[in-house]
Amino acid sequence: MDCKQRFPFRVGTTSYIIPDDILPNIDFLKERVDDVELLLFESDEMSALPSAEDIERLGRIGKEHDLSYSIHLPLDVYLGHVDGDVRERSVGKCRRVMELMKVLEPSAYVMHAEAGERVDVNGFSDAGKRGFAENVRASIERLLASTDVPPSGICVETLDYPIALLAGVIDSLGLSVTLDIGHLELFGFSVEEHLERYLPLARVFHMHGIKDGKDHKGLQYMRSETLDMVMRALHDAPDPKRVFTMEIFSEPDFRSSCETLVRYRR
């Protein structure tokens, strides 16, 4: 079962579907999806970024098989941290990945805007939340000034706090949004309200189900009402550049997700 070139958007999944490195995953997926989300991990202690040779190979596969790549920026970056030095290191990590991957002409750069490792923004005071937003703004402004990535190429992801906290930053800087539908469901946010507000800015969707309180499961575990709503919205507002990433991490979940998704083909 595959989902390639079947919808009015680019269907994708992650670069960790089979238990192997990135390139074997790309070989497995190149005829099955339109986009692959490259999950790149980098920290101060270790790095798992592709080599120049691997990136060249990714580029060739992309051109030969009409396969695009969305880039998930490192998770250990804290663009809204109160410490300016931490923010500066975080900007540097994002910049390094963007410079490395730009030859692939990514469909999007997915970004987590966080205040620190395991820091709960929901617990901030009103002043703290405003400060968090301003710190995120300053970090992204610095990143944009030091790369040639257009603002719309950066897609701020919905996490465990209301993305409305960053609405002013997103709108004023011309950023895009990653609507992570699984996160919205897991943390109790209204999918309908987010579709109404952010669909025009949603360059990327992250789709995954919830099972036993854990997300990033196959689409068969999504609430049918939610999946129906999202698919109706995407069909009614078609965008061939929008990326619909099934953010899952196993071959069984990939196959069952494709089987679920193709039922929505018009």
What is the distance between the alpha carbons of residues 255 and 3, in angstroms, rounded to a whole number?
10
Within a domain: residue 5?
Answer: no
Q: Is residue 3 part of a domain?
A: no
Q: What's the confidence (pLDDT) of residue 40?
A: 83
Instruction: Quote the pTM value.
Output: 0.96
Q: Which residue has the tokens 């209301």?
A: 162
Domain assignment of residue 197, yes or no: yes
Domain count, the chain: 1
Q: Tens of pLDDT along 68-108?
A: 999 999 999 999 999 999 999 999 999 999 999 999 999 99
What type of residue is 157?
E
Let me know if residue 199 belongs to a domain.
yes
In a domain, 247, yes or no: yes
Instruction: Return the CATH number at 127.
Output: 3.20.20.150
Provide the residue range defining the domain that includes 114: 10-264
Please report whether residue 133 resides in a domain: yes
**4 domain residue, yes or no:** no
CB atoms < 10 A from the CB of 238, how many? 10
Establish if 2 belongs to a structural domain: no
How sure is the predictor about 184, in pLDDT bands with cuts at 50, 70 and 90?
very high
Given the structure tokens 């069984």, which residue do they identify? Answer: 252
